[in-house]
Amino acid sequence: MKLKKILAAVMFLAVIYELSARPKNVIFMIGDGMGFSHVKATSLYQHGEEGKLFFESFPHRGTVTTHPAGSDITDSAAASTAMATGKKAKNGTISMEIPGSGRELKTLLEVYKESGAYTGIITTTYINHATPAGFAAHSVSRKNYKEIARDYLEQTRPNVMLGGNKKSFWGSTFDFGRARVLGYHIVDNRESMISLRTEETAYLAGVFGKGHFPYEKDGLGDLPHLSQMTRAGLMVLDNNPGGFFVMIEGGRIDHAAHKNDIERMILETLEFEKSVKIAYEWVQKYPDTLLLVTADHETGGLEVLSSSGKGKFPAVRWSSYRHTAARVPVYAIGKDAERFSGEMDNTDFFRKILD
């Protein structure tokens, strides 16, 4: 009996040690469609030189392969599933074992939530779009917007949800009434988000506008910038002494790249970079924080031909209007950041963060 008690105590301590060995806070930032050339073009525009974006100075850098199950080229759903669960899935799948059993795959966000951390998803696309959905929902199809929004509220319940509002002929796919009942503080414009008393907020839903956010180049009206959502979200998330996990997406880099629109692509990437700078403040405040900056795939087959100088858009060539199989970058700083040096696959994020 006594031996059993000692064994139980040892096991308990081992579990505690195992949990505390992980980064306490994880800020997982995804530039949707942001390949190496997107980063290079943005640095040339902003600094007149390559390699000068803030996150390019992170001490640990690597390359990531992105292929999904059964294809060479991924969509955002399969890529998000791979990063969030460590498993390859078929394009279009939101964190379910497809091909395979069809069961739900546990996501990084869910693992952190179970360990008592606060969790969040922040994006400039619809809040229930593929990339955030991969972290906080389960569905056979990325197009099941209502089901994904329902998973957010009824299953994963992230503390912070900030993004665009998917609307259709039947109205919003996000159930504001239900969110209120569940204790979410709801904001729907920049002012109400910025003036929020974050210290007293445990659940925050900001579901803005009528669709994806406008591009930075076109002006956001009364919607918040990604960097402002990043700050507001982190101020809520760090209220929990048990840590947090948040996915933050620059979602419209991909959309501009699909249109081969270099100006909008660069301005979106700059706002994403600004958001990374804000996230880094939390790495400085809480050294037990891992900050990752990566992409889900490359979009556009972009190649930079030459610099046009600081403040001017560089000369580029696009070879596609779609996603490509090109490797994408990863930049890491903070706790366990050294694990992200060199070559890796998108399914490795899960293990490298949790092991």
In angstroms, the CA 69 to CA 66 distance is 10
Select which of 20, 43, 71, 76 is catalytic. 76
117, 157 Cβ separation under 8 angstroms: no
Q: Which residues pair with 28 in a beta bridge?
A: 247, 292
Binding region for Zn ion (CB under 5 A) out of 44-52, 186-194, 239-247, 252-260: 252-260
Residue 317 DSSP SS3: strand
Residue 154: CB minimum distance to Zn ion, A = 28
Going along the chain, which residue ranges are E strands? 25-31, 60-65, 118-126, 160-164, 167-168, 171-172, 185-187, 204-208, 244-250, 289-294, 298-299, 303-306, 315-317, 323-324, 328-334, 342-345
CA 214 to mean position of chain CA atoms? 18
Q: Which stretch binds Zn ion (CB under 5 A): 2-10, 170-178, 254-262, 339-347?
A: 254-262
Q: What are phi and psi of 124, to 5 degrees?
A: -100, 0
Minimum CB–partner distance for residue 300 and Zn ion (Å): 9
* CB-nearer residue toward Zn ion: 97 or 254: 254
Residue 337, token pair as written in the block:
């950041």
Q: Least distance from C-beta 33 to Zn ion, angstroms?
A: 6
Instruction: Please choose, out of 127-135, 226-234, 249-257, 339-347, the segment that lies near Zn ion by the rule CB under 5 A.
Output: 249-257
29 versus 160: smaller Cβ distance to Zn ion: 29
Task: Give me the torsion for CA of 84, 212, 58, 281, rounded to 10°.
Answer: -100
Instruction: Kindly state whether residue 298 participates in binding Zn ion, applying the rule CB under 5 A.
Output: no
Taking the complex as a whole, how short is the minimal distance between the CB of residue 76 and Zn ion, in angstroms? 6
Q: Where does this chain touch Zn ion (CB under 5 A) — which range of 105-113, 250-258, 313-321, 343-351?
A: 250-258
Q: Which residue is nearest to Zn ion (CB)?
A: 254
Please, which residue, 78 or 111, has the CB nearer to Zn ion?
A: 78
In whole angstroms, the minimum distance from the beta carbon of 197 to Zn ion comes to 37
Contact 171, 215 (CB under 8 A): no
- The residue (of 125 and 139) whose beta carbon lies closer to Zn ion is 125
Given the complex with Zn ion, which of 161 and 257 has the nearer CB atom? 257
Tokens of 59: 């001490």
HSE toward the beta carbon, residue 40, CA cutoff 13 A: 15
CB of 298 vs Zn ion, minimal distance in Å: 10
Sorted by sequence, the CB contacts under 8 Å of residue 174 that are 6+ apart come out as 127, 128, 149, 152, 165, 166, 205, 207
From 148-156, 165-173, 186-194, 247-255, span contacting Zn ion (CB under 5 A):
247-255
Residue identified by tokens 């990063």 is 83
71 is catalytic: no
Contact 271, 227 (CB under 8 A): yes
Q: Which is nearer to Zn ion, 216 or 254 (CB)?
A: 254
- Does residue 254 belong to the site contacting Zn ion (CB under 5 A)? yes
Nearer to Zn ion, 142 or 231 (CB): 142
Phi, psi (5° rounding) for residue 66? -125, 0
The residue count for binding Zn ion (CB under 5 A) is 1
Minimum gap (Å) between residue 74 Cβ and Zn ion:
10
* Interface positions, 117-146, toward Zn ion (CB under 5 A): none
9 Cβ contact list (under 8 Å, min separation 6): none
If one asks whether residue 336 binds Zn ion (CB under 5 A), the answer comes out as no
The residues annotated with a catalytic role in the active site are 76
Sites of contact with Zn ion (CB under 5 A): 254
